[in-house]
Amino acid sequence: MEISHEHMTQRSPFILAATVVAAVALLANSNGVAHQQNRDRTGAPGSDNTCQQCHSGGNFSPDVNAFLTVEGDVALESTYIPGATHTLVVNVNSSGSPAGYGVHGTVVFDGGANAGTLVDQDANDCIWLDEVDGRHIFEQNDLCSPGTFEVEWVAPESGSGPITVWVASIAANGNGTSSGDVFAGGSFTFTEQVVGVEDGKAPAEPTVALRGPGLLGLVCGEGHNTTILSVDGRLLHEGHFAAGSHELIIRDAGLVIVHTVTDAGAVYTSKVWCP
């Protein structure tokens, strides 16, 4: 059947309207703005306006935090280990029960240049890596309900200085548009950890102290193997640590026993109460 030119002209506005709606939906769906828009909205030096300019009006109160871990459960206290592979953990949570969360971030030096290397270690998680004007970006590849995002980060070499993780995050209502969402952004600076004993800052004898809820600090001037047990004998953590300062995430409350054997063979045992 032949379709007249007049018929085609009448349908064109509807086709155009559908195309516009599809484009709007694309910009507001679950993928990140680096992948969709080729934009850096992390808040880092030299970036574009953050996602706050579009995402607003929701009944949420999101909060975002970022920290580094090594060796699984070892959380670093505002420091990084030069050349080591860390897990960068970004956690977004909110009141109001959002449908999910989005994240868009980078890791840079003070001047805005890339710091270290990002590695997407799991093809099935909610994170993928992108690049905008040479800057490396990590962001969500789907609307993620847990709000916890992880990506491997290989730290720069010794002598590089402090680095900052810039994060733009969204608590989303899942309606497919930017309305009804709420933005939360932040920056988190980590200084280079001195792991040698020659600076004299860390004593040879290990010290153990509670540094916060669920965070146990270990400081020792030489490498050591440390085992942490509950009072009923359950193994909470064990591993080898380089000289310097570390933090361990302890998920069990109560009295814990910390047993340390330094690389030189000295043995130390202490007890710490974890509320």
Give per-residue pLDDT as tens, 168-190: 988 888 776 666 688 889 999 99
Give per-residue pLDDT as tens, 234-259: 898 899 998 888 888 888 878 888 99
Q: Round to whole Å and give the CA distance between 165 and 160.
A: 15
CATH architecture of 207-274: Sandwich (2.60)
Phi first, then psi: what are they for 8, rounded to 5°? -65, -40
pTM over 0.75: no
Residue 23 pLDDT: 31
Mean of pLDDT over the chain:
77
Per-position DSSP letters for 83-130, written without gaps between them: T-EEEEEEEEEEES--SEEEEEEEEE-TTS-B-SEEE---TTSSEEEE
In the block, which residue shows the tokens 């050349």? 83
Domain 31-192 has CATH 1.20.1050.10: no
Least confident of 23-32, 39-48, 67-76: 23-32
Domain-by-domain residue ranges, the chain?
Answer: 31-192, 207-274
